[in-house]
């Protein structure tokens, strides 16, 4: 599969529309929960989302109200702040690999264009109904998209959060459709039978794997659940491969239960065993992601999109795990001996992991995201470890 152009849907794919819907609730003076419940019902019944307005306010004229909102200085517009955190790195990655980046949705082109500029996204082509004279889900829209891409449809991928308006018409046009499971449509559409043989991703961070031909399939939320982690750890244990759990699952092992969703399972192991672990996981259906792979660090993914991130270390005399190239100056990355002494529990089984002290210290070196806040605060509460300043609860 050679993909030369990747097009992205707008709402709930690159931009979180939640704020826009909240503003409609405010504008209509209806309870926010009522609006989201109604939206959910309309989606579940496969009806047009614009019916939400009619249900909440019979006789509602969307176009007229939009004009009124503009006059009132409260236009229905995407903002750079609505962009999902994974959108920019994903687009930059697609572009860095020499692929054309397109954004094509049913929003007006000036709205998309402005949001792209505000968010400083690397986009080559913007497609919209007012530009292309066609809107999704019509085949004409996707025909215009193919023309704009300048490559055959089988070399184009389209990422969207809906089956009916994004992925299925894209696929019917010969384009490689990828469903992203987020927002009110994604959550309803991903488990559907029509998504059975489609690649489904839980975040744009997973897109590179799909483009490399590793297709997570249905049934996967592309998450690493407690049962998944336990299954993999049991498999490794049965082959006498010793591992220490790092990352998010390392935190939850310390806590003794799953406290948040996880994308992957981070494992530290002896470098001398990294070939064997790759064999064992390979026999269990995991494939090595070759791109960006280094001998001491690579990711393996299975068809369900489950990811294991392997970190090989060489122990020195003091028991420190030396990770990656170690310059003579001694400033290479290491897992300190004291960090590799943690113990925890996953699915009732005792496991080895990084210590809570190491986890907290290791989180302090960069700008924390929500998951980092969650993890560090949980460790602070459970183990009384002092909170680094940037982690004081917001």
- Nearest partner of 184 among 74, 349, 36, judged by Cα: 36
Tell me the closest approach of the beta carbon of residue 171 to Mg ion, in angstroms: 16
**Are the C-beta atoms of residues 182 and 12 closer than 8 Å to each other?**
yes
User: Would you call the peptide bond into 137 cis, given omega within 30 degrees of 0 as the criterion?
Assistant: yes
Q: Which is nearer to Mg ion, 9 or 263 (CB)?
A: 9
Q: Which is nearer to Mg ion, 169 or 248 (CB)?
A: 169
Under DSSP, the state recorded for 386 is P
Tell me the closest approach of the beta carbon of residue 35 to Mg ion, in angstroms: 17
Tell me the closest approach of the beta carbon of residue 13 to Mg ion, in angstroms: 5
Q: Which is nearer to Mg ion, 166 or 372 (CB)?
A: 166
Q: Which is nearer to Mg ion, 158 or 244 (CB)?
A: 158
Strands annotated E in the chain:
5-8, 100-104, 125-127, 156-160, 176-180, 200-201, 243-246, 264-270, 287-288, 297-301, 307-315, 321-323, 333-335, 342-346, 349-353
Binding site for Mg ion (CB under 5 A): 9, 11-12, 161
Q: Which is nearer to Mg ion, 6 or 268 (CB)?
A: 6
Q: Which is nearer to Mg ion, 78 or 354 (CB)?
A: 78
Tell me the closest approach of the beta carbon of residue 136 to Mg ion, in angstroms: 9
Tell me the closest approach of the beta carbon of residue 179 to Mg ion, in angstroms: 11
Tell me the closest approach of the beta carbon of residue 129 to Mg ion, in angstroms: 14
**Are the C-beta atoms of residues 359 and 254 closer than 8 Å to each other?**
yes
Closest residue to bound Mg ion by CB: 11
57-76 core/surface letters (b: 16 or more CB in 10 A; e: else): eeeeeeeebeeebeeeeeeb
Q: Which is nearer to Mg ion, 160 or 305 (CB)?
A: 160
Q: Please state, in angstroms and as integers, the Cα–Cα distance from residue 2 to each residue in 101, 176, 211, 326, following that order.
A: 15, 10, 8, 37
Cα distance between residue 65 and residue 75, in whole Å: 10
Name the one residue in this structure whose structure tokens are 């926010």: 32
Q: Which is nearer to Mg ion, 12 or 24 (CB)?
A: 12
Cα distance between residue 304 and residue 199, in whole Å: 10
Tell me the closest approach of the beta carbon of residue 270 to Mg ion, in angstroms: 45
**What number of other Cβ atoms are within 10 A of residue 325's Cβ?**
9
Q: Which is nearer to Mg ion, 9 or 246 (CB)?
A: 9
Environment class of residue 205 by beta-carbon count within 10 Å: exposed (0-12), middle (13-18) or buried (19+)?
Answer: middle
Tell me the closest approach of the beta carbon of residue 218 to Mg ion, in angstroms: 19
Beta bridge partners of 310: 267, 298
Tell me the closest approach of the beta carbon of residue 198 to Mg ion, in angstroms: 15
Cα distance between residue 264 and residue 245, in whole Å: 11
């Amino acid at each position: 599969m050679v993909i030369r152009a990747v097009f992205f849907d707008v709402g709930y794919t690159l931009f979180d529309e939640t704020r826009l819907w909240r503003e409609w609730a405010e504008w209509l003076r209806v309870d926010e929960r009522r609006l989201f419940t109604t939206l959910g019902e309309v989606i579940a019944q496969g009806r047009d989302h614009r019916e939400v307005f009619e249900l909440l306010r019979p006789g509602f004229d969307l176009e007229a109200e939009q004009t009124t909102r503009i006059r009132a200085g409260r236009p229905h517009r995407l903002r750079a702040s609505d962009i999902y955190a994974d959108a920019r790195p994903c687009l930059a990655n697609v572009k860095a690999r020499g692929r054309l980046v397109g954004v094509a949705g049913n929003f007006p082109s000036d709205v998309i264009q402005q949001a792209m500029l505000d968010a400083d996204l690397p986009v080559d082509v913007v497609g919209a109904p007012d530009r292309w004279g066609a809107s999704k889900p019509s085949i004409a829209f996707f025909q215009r998209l193919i023309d704009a891409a300048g490559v055959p449809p089988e070399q184009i991928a389209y990422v969207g959060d809906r089956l009916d308006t994004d992925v299925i018409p894209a696929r019917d046009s010969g384009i490689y459709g990828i469903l992203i499971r987020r927002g009110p449509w994604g959550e309803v559409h991903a488990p559907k039978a029509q998504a059975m043989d489609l690649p489904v991703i839980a975040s744009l961070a997973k897109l590179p794997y799909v483009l490399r031909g590793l297709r997570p399939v249905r049934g996967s939320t592309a998450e690493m659940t407690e049962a998944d982690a336990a299954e993999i750890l049991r498999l490794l244990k049965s082959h006498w491969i010793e591992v220490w759990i790092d990352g998010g699952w390392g935190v939850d092992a310390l806590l003794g239960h799953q406290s948040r969703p996880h994308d992957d399972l981070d494992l530290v192991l002896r470098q001398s065993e990294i070939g064997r672990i790759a064999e064992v996981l390979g026999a269990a259906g995991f494939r090595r992601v070759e791109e960006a792979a280094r001998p001491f660090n690579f990711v393996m993914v299975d068809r369900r999109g489950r990811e294991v991130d392997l970190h090989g270390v060489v122990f020195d005399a003091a028991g420190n795990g030396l990770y990656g190239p170690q310059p003579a100056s001694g400033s290479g990355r290491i897992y300190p001996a004291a960090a590799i002494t943690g113990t925890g529990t996953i699915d009732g089984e005792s496991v080895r992991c990084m210590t809570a002290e190491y986890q907290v210290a290791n989180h302090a070196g960069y700008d924390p995201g929500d998951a980092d806040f969650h993890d560090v605060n949980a460790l602070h509460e459970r183990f009384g470890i002092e909170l680094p300043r940037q982690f004081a609860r917001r």
